[in-house]
A = this chain, B = another copy of it.
Amino acid sequence: MDEQIVTLDQAMQMAIDEAYKGAAQVSPNPKVGCVILNSKGQLISKGHHKKFGGPHAEIEALQNLKHEDLIEAHVIVTLEPCAHQGKTPSCAKKLASLPIKKVTYGLMDPNPLVAGQGHQILSDAGIEVEIYRGDLTEALENVCEEFLVNFREKRIFVAMKVAQSIDGQVALSNGVSQWITGPESRMHVQKIRSYYDAVLVGYETIIKDNPSLNIRLADINKENWAVILTNQKLSEDLKVFQVRPHEKVLTVSGDLKLVLQSLYDKGLRSILVEGGAFTFSEFLRQGLVDRMHVFTAPVIMGQGKSWSQSLSYPNLEIAPRAKKIDTQVFGPDIYTSFKLK
């Protein structure tokens, strides 16, 4: 594909970028990407896990390559190749049958029962195997963060999307919140929604704004769940019911931790909290948020409703510190993504 020599870090970054292409469709599997370099270190193939139940990233990357392409090749993959046969055959066994020289993988399989087994299969077959130890380790964790939380903590991954003014308000004091951010940001929100199994909003938001909460992108065909925090019966005339089967609209109430546990038990693996101010701040107050997606519009709203309205701290040391993961500009707005835990 290209004459240039690719370094390991470049190859791993490409594998990470590949992995994200599967973001909308792989849940509950992790996002995984794979890059193959030939014996000269030149890129010959890329692939990613596209869809739950479909071929893994390694198999996707291998599919157009011939036996001779793979002689002394180097396979770079974001997660340890799977050892066992699940919905698809074992990737480690497949790779072990090939004339490749080396496999570098990003993270060990988080399942302690099988961790290292993919590594062992490859090593037994005489292939050089190594776990990646470069600067992209954190990026490798981020790419499958939902999966890691699901697996390690047996709970649903919680993200939050805020559209705020420069001064941190999500609505005016009278509740007006449409539209703070511009069309470019709102388009990106659609993409962010596609990363998660469900969207959650509070009762006031659903009644006041009547949002669809679905994913409206030409190239992504995914039907997400809508979860509404209320103990009231909702009118089926609301838009959330129009765009998805009724059984994919859930009303939930009570203790938020129990609510999240019940969603996990139902099979949901990730959720995006989209408002309003009270809902946001309750999730934060209880320390339930893993990731924040913040869109900041260049408007000053003054004292309205804030997504941190029920939080208060006596000193800065105990105020929750986040970690900036990504900053982008969307039209007039600024988007920043933060990790909270």
Interface residues of A (CB under 8 A from B): 164-169, 172-174, 176, 179-180, 284, 292, 294, 296, 298-304, 306-316, 319-324, 327, 329, 332-334, 336, 338
**A176 neighbours in B (Cβ, 8 Å):** 315-316
- Dominant SS among interface residues on chain A: loop
**A311 neighbours in B (Cβ, 8 Å):** 300-303
B167-A307 in contact (CB<8A)? yes
**A164 neighbours in B (Cβ, 8 Å):** 167-168
Count of this chain's copies in the oligomeric assembly: 2
A187 to chain B, nearest CB (A): 18
A298-B323 in contact (CB<8A)? yes
B313-A302 in contact (CB<8A)? yes
A301-B313 in contact (CB<8A)? yes
Q: How far is the CA of A324 from the CA of B181 in the complex (A)?
A: 13
Q: How far is the CA of A289 from the CA of B71 in the complex (A)?
A: 66
Name A338's closest neighbour in chain B (CB-CB). B298
Q: With contacts A303-B308, A324-B298 known, is A316 near B172, CB below 8 A?
A: yes
Show 11 A/B contacts (Cβ-Cβ < 8 Å), sorted by A.
A166-B322, A172-B319, A179-B316, A299-B320, A300-B311, A300-B320, A302-B313, A324-B329, A324-B332, A324-B333, A334-B334
B334-A327 in contact (CB<8A)? yes
A137 to chain B, nearest CB (A): 18
**A313 neighbours in B (Cβ, 8 Å):** 172, 301-302, 304
Q: With contacts A172-B313, A172-B316, A323-B332 known, is A167 near B298, CB below 8 A?
A: no
Q: How far is the CA of A308 from the CA of B165 in the complex (A)?
A: 11
Given A167-B308, A324-B333, 4 extra CB contacts under 8 A: A164-B168, A168-B306, A176-B316, A303-B311
Q: How far is the CA of A296 from the CA of B294 in the complex (A)?
A: 12
Q: How far is the CA of A265 from the CA of B291 in the complex (A)?
A: 51
A326 to chain B, nearest CB (A): 10
Q: With contacts A176-B315, A319-B300 known, is A336 near B334, CB below 8 A?
A: yes
